[in-house]
């Protein structure tokens, strides 16, 4: 066999081998993804201007996207109707209008959220407190006042006797809440979003959905996997006063994540920054430099409340709390009130995407190499078997139309399947 013809045969063989390996890899990939249905998203607004999004990667054939959308909307409307401070007939609004110190009946869901809020208030030594609303309004972080001025100490001291979770009692059977002081009011906005996320997730579970993501106003719960496989990827926003940007991406599954920060709502007066995060004990904005707190927990109601509490507590106490509760956190701190230099403090098991990539995700070469080796072994066995048959039967190697038995040389002549010489040469030799 001439060297050039041998080279051509080897090149054709290697091309076939590579094509076979790629085909096998593509088939394996498609078979892995064949069980994943076409995903769809549900968008809307709830609790006033708060946007929500539900991404469903897989759902039972017996449940239509329209049914899922209607169920999601009904769940969110119900939570809003019970816990809104703007709906005049909500449980919260009726409780706040009343000056009675007797137990007032509420929906079981309202009672459950208030009960959990009180538990988290105790866990955080009052850093989380659903009675802080009057202080929030005093500092103009409720309905805006164009002529805002920094409240005096006398003004903040005057409302302290109406703020404190210890002024509340709750019972679940029958569901009811009461206040010890007639002027006490509650605001569930720092926990209701997380609760709404949990309720939507529970509804999707009941409908048989296995893979989905629920987000309400930035608070998130994930179930199963995203449509392309692997854990859900959630962006962690960078504390930036001027624009939205991402600093990290977390990968979570069957977990909730909530973020709270001071970089969207604050006052800047005489060169000083006043955060919208109010310390319930002082009734004044916090004076530390923690810019944001991202918390991962088993349920979104807890993650939502803990993120708010940590923004009151500050970095050191916040980290200690997460360690005690076994919750992952990512805390971002400024060097000063308006400092652009940010420092991140991440718990050791916080699931950042970069860590997941380095430890879990193989490269494309690592994925295709075993397939390539397998295809090479098969190709080699075929060539050996065909060669043995040709040697012992004294017949040329044959193949399908256009195969090895129908190769042509550089002059365009049909070549012998064994020696690659023009077949006319072989015929003349046999004579």
Q: Each residue of 56-95: b (16+ CB within 10 Å) or e?
A: bbbbeeeeeeeebbebbbebbeebbebbbbebeebbbbeb
CA nearest neighbour of 56 among 39, 44, 37, 73: 39
Q: What angle do CA 371, 375, 376 make, to 5 degrees?
A: 115
Please indicate whether residue 246 or residue 76 has the higher confidence score (pLDDT).
Answer: 76
Q: How far is CA 17 from the centre of its chain?
A: 41
Lowest mean pLDDT among 33-37, 187-191, 314-318, 373-377: 33-37
Confidence class for position 277, pLDDT limits 50, 70, 90? confident
pLDDT band at residue 418, thresholds of 50, 70 and 90? Answer: very low
Structure-model confidence comparison of residues 414 and 333, the more confident one: 333
Q: How many CB atoms lie within 10 A of CB 348?
A: 6
Query: What gap in Å lies between CA 343 and CA 319, rounded to an integer?
Result: 14
The predicted pLDDT at position 31 comes to 39
Helices 65-83, 189-206: inter-axial angle, 10-degree rounding: 150
User: Would you state the structure tokens that stand for residue 166, as one six-digit string?
Assistant: 């210890």
Reported as a single tens digit per residue, the pLDDT across 87-107 is: 999 999 999 999 999 999 999
Residue 161 pLDDT > 80: yes
Both tokens assigned to 153: 């100490």
- Of the listed ranges 122-126, 148-152, 345-349, the least confidently predicted one is 148-152
What mean pLDDT is predicted for residues 133-151? 79
Look at residue 348 and tell me whether its pLDDT is greater than 80: yes
Mean pLDDT over 409-413 rounds to: 50
Could you give the CA distance from residue 411 to residue 406 in angstroms, rounded to a whole number? 14
Q: How confident is the prediction for the chain on average, in pLDDT?
A: 79
**What mean pLDDT is predicted for residues 157-164?**
94
Confidence category of residue 62, pLDDT binned at 50, 70, 90: confident
Non-local (6+) Cβ contacts of 26 within 8 A are none
Q: 310 and 262 in contact (C-beta within 8 Å)?
A: no
């Amino acid at each position: 066999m001439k060297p050039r013809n041998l080279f051509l045969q080897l090149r054709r063989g290697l091309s076939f081998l590579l094509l076979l390996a790629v085909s096998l890899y593509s088939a394996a990939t498609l078979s892995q993804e064949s069980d994943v249905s076409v995903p769809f998203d549900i968008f809307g607004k709830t609790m006033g201007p708060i946007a929500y999004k539900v991404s469903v990667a897989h759902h039972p054939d017996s449940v239509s996207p329209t049914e899922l959308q209607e169920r999601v909307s009904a769940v969110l409307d119900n939570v809003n109707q019970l816990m809104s401070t703007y709906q005049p007939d909500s449980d919260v609004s009726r409780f706040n209008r009343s000056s009675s110190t007797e137990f007032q009946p509420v929906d079981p869901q309202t009672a459950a959220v208030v009960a959990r809020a009180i538990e988290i208030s105790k866990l955080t030594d009052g850093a989380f407190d659903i009675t802080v609303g009057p202080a929030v309004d005093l500092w103009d972080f409720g309905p805006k006042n164009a002529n805002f001025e920094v409240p005096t100490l006398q003004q903040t001291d005057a409302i302290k006797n109406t703020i404190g979770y210890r002024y509340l009692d709750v019972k679940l059977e029958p569901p009811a809440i009461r206040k010890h002081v007639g002027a006490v009011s509650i605001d569930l906005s720092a926990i209701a979003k997380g609760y709404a996320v949990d309720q939507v997730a529970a509804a999707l579970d009941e409908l048989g959905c296995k893979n989905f993501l629920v987000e309400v106003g930035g608070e998130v719960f994930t179930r199963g996997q995203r449509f392309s496989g692997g854990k859900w990827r959630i962006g962690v926003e960078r504390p930036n006063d001027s624009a939205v940007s991402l600093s990290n991406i977390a990968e979570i599954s069957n977990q909730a994540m909530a973020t709270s920060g001071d970089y969207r709502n604050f006052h800047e007066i005489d060169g000083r920054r006043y955060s919208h995060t109010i310390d319930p004990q002082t009734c004044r904005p916090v004076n530390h430099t923690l810019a944001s707190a991202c918390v991962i927990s088993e349920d979104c109601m807890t993650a939502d409340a803990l993120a708010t509490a940590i923004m009151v507590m500050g970095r050191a106490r916040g980290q200690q709390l997460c360690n005690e509760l076994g919750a992952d956190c990512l805390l971002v701190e400024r060097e000063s009130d308006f400092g652009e230099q940010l420092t991140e403090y991440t718990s050791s098991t916080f699931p950042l995407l970069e860590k997941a990539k380095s430890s879990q995700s193989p490269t494309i070469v690592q994925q295709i190499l075993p397939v390539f080796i397998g295809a090479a072994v098969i190709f080699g066995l075929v060539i050996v078997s065909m060669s043995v048959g040709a040697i012992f039967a004294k017949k040329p190697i044959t193949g399908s139309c256009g195969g090895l038995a129908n190769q042509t040389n550089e002059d365009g002549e049909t070549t012998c399947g064994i020696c690659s010489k023009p077949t006319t040469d072989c015929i003349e030799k046999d004579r």
